[in-house]
Structure 1
Amino acid sequence: MATPLAALAADSAGDVAHLIETALTPVFMLSGVGTLLNLLNTRSARVADQIEKASDLLDTEQDKEAKRKLRHHLRRLTRRIMVLDISIMFGGLAGAMTCGAAFVLFLGSVRDASIALWLVALFGAALLSTVAALAAFLCDCFFSWDNLRKSGPLPKSVKKRSPESSASTTG
């Protein structure tokens, strides 16, 4: 049985170039998915910070109308965090499927096996998962824009300033 290197040496330059081109496709896909996951995690952390801030304001707020607005804001933020979690899940799945496609490609070249069906299935699933992650991210963007348009940024607390803070601003 010929070794993979001996078989590679017998191939034409076009075949080798095609093999390299095919092997690099999952690498670029994985790089894009990694960047997307970084963006989604950063956005999720910002929404989580807003949830924490709104929860703190809600705990200290006395005004009923302000409490109602804060609860409404928390519900919207919770919906956004759920959509971002779904987006992150699909992005992670896309990364895993891309790695699977790269592994199948590697395994097929080493064992000289027929891998076309597996490669198409895994890479196709990776692309579909990426599309789903981007769609969920777009939903979060729409929720964010709609929330800003309807009610503006995070409601401010209407509680009275403490005596220490008013003394420091007057003197």
Structure 2
Amino acid sequence: MNLHLGNIGQIIQLAIAPVFLLTGVGTNLTVLTNRLARIIDRSRVIEDVINTQGASGLTPHMRIELDELYQRSHLINRAITLSSTCALLVCLVIAALFLGDALDLHLDQTIAALFVAAVFALIGSFIYFLREIFVATKTLRRQREHGVSLLP
């Protein structure tokens, strides 16, 4: 093990970019979990109507909205999974940077592969997030076109 103060400073400089990416991914996860919470809250409102009024209280529009909320929750869950995977891979990149230098290991290809995998996971997360937004806006457009207020 051959660590010097100058080496640690260089490693920290190298790790700054992945740390900024990690901050952005954390913000993305906050947005995604907030959207999931809103989806869950809305589905609970509809389910409460069903529980108080019985199956007769469930209108066709409510059934469609429940299906869309279910679809949105799956898309958001996939986006959260990929964002979390990205964050874990970025953490592995940072750890590999330090371990590689501290133990004089040649982890350059491993670090590059982890970073590329992290970026692909983030891209996938954004794709699922975008798909969820499309479903949500489609729901709003449908409600507006039919003049339906789904609030119980």
Residue 139 (structure 2) pairs with residue 139 (structure 1): no
Cα distance between partner residues in 1 of 2:123 and 2:101? 28
Match of 2:105, SS state, is: coil
Q: Name the residue aligned to 1:129.
A: 121
Q: Name the residue aligned to 1:52.
A: 44
Q: Name the residue aligned to 2:150.
A: 155
Q: Under a length normalisation based on structure 1, what TM-score does the superposition of the two structures give?
A: 0.78
Matches within 5 A, 1:41-80: 41-61=33-53, 67-80=59-72
Cα distance between partner residues in 2 of 1:43 and 1:64? 29
Residue 140 (structure 1) shift: 0.6
Residue 156 (structure 1) shift: 2.8
Cα distance between partner residues in 1 of 2:71 and 2:98? 41
Aligned residues: 149
Task: Report if the CA contact (8 A) 1:98-1:123 is conserved.
Answer: yes
Matches within 5 A, 1:7-46: 8=7, 19-46=11-38
Residue 26 (structure 2) pairs with residue 5 (structure 1): no
Higher mean Cα deviation, 136-145 or 59-68?
59-68
Cα distance between partner residues in 1 of 2:66 and 2:149? 9
Task: Report if the CA contact (8 A) 2:100-2:107 is conserved.
Answer: yes
Higher mean Cα deviation, 67-76 or 92-101?
67-76
Q: Under a length normalisation based on structure 2, what TM-score does the superposition of the two structures give?
A: 0.87
Q: Name the residue aligned to 1:90.
A: 82
Match of 1:114, SS state, is: coil
Structure having the higher Rg? 1
Task: Report if the CA contact (8 A) 2:50-2:57 is conserved.
Answer: no
Query: Counterpart amino acid of 1:155?
Result: L
Higher mean Cα deviation, 146-155 or 87-96?
146-155
Alignment gaps of 5+ in structure 1:
10-15, 158-171
Residue 25 (structure 1) shift: 1.2
Residue 4 (structure 1) shift: 1.7
Task: Report if the CA contact (8 A) 1:23-1:102 is conserved.
Answer: yes
| RMSD (CA atoms) | 2.4
Which is bigger in relative contact order (C-alpha 8 A, separation at least 6)? Answer: 2
Matches within 5 A, 1:101-112: 101-112=93-104
Residue 7 (structure 1) shift: 7.2
Q: Report percent identity of matched pairs.
A: 27
Alignment gaps of 5+ in structure 2:
none
Task: Report if the CA contact (8 A) 1:61-1:67 is conserved.
Answer: no
